[in-house]
Structure 1
């Protein structure tokens, strides 16, 4: 009879003293799953309230604009790699032109991109005054223009691209037939 009273006290009245005591040391898995489901439903409801509303054509337009920079940067980088292989001279002209961009502008562009992608660090301004940087660029501009002109002269469709110029030795060497076994075989068979 004593055992029945002890078990009734332990498990009676809709309670389970052992389970209640165990929950102090280990959370109830079913209750934890219910809390997690409730948390996920609240997060989804918040996201639906933020992004699910119509917002009109203006809101949709702005949302579309906000989604453009990442793919444009990714596809732009892929395009640069492709253009470097497809048309190296076009690519070299553009990269030579980028040499004229002042360093503070590169720092600003890097800060904008870093901020857009969520980075918290920003590069400190290096203390180079804009006037010094402008003077450097102005001094460098004629060399850049000359380099671009040289690159354009290398195009296959430039007039006189194969002209050896006033160097008579180069002209004579370029017109002398060289050793070419394939041409020799072809001449013998003809």
Structure 2
């Protein structure tokens, strides 16, 4: 009995388990892995929540948000204002355009870069939304084709539209001669 006890003491004694330790070299401990996964997910969710929590904005932050919203409407309204001013006061407009003609070309390039970067991000977002809407529309194509085929079958000039189908009573009524007074009067009048 002492030899077996020594063997088990060697394998499992001293707060260790030789079998478990050996197996964990080749396979992860499921319980420890689940614990690590839960901790990682909890930390990620906490970080995500902190990132998107709405901080209390001060007056300066609110002012800067308002300033960031001004360029697009200012450019659009300014451009419309130029068209109006060209019609209302052509001489005043011509004087201003002569001043713009003096702006050096590198400054125009710089303005183009600034405007491109500013509007480029918005354009990319709108393009992605447009592509998503195209995908949704393409998904509807089979139903649209089916509806068009069904509607075209209802046209009066399509073949077989007046066919009674398998309804025998309707077939005999369609083939049977009826007395049509208006048709008889018309034929007699010819």
Larger Rg: 2
More helix by proportion, 1 or 2? 2
- TM-score tier (shorter): 0.3 to 0.5
- TM-score w.r.t. structure 1 length? 0.36
- TM-score w.r.t. structure 2 length? 0.36
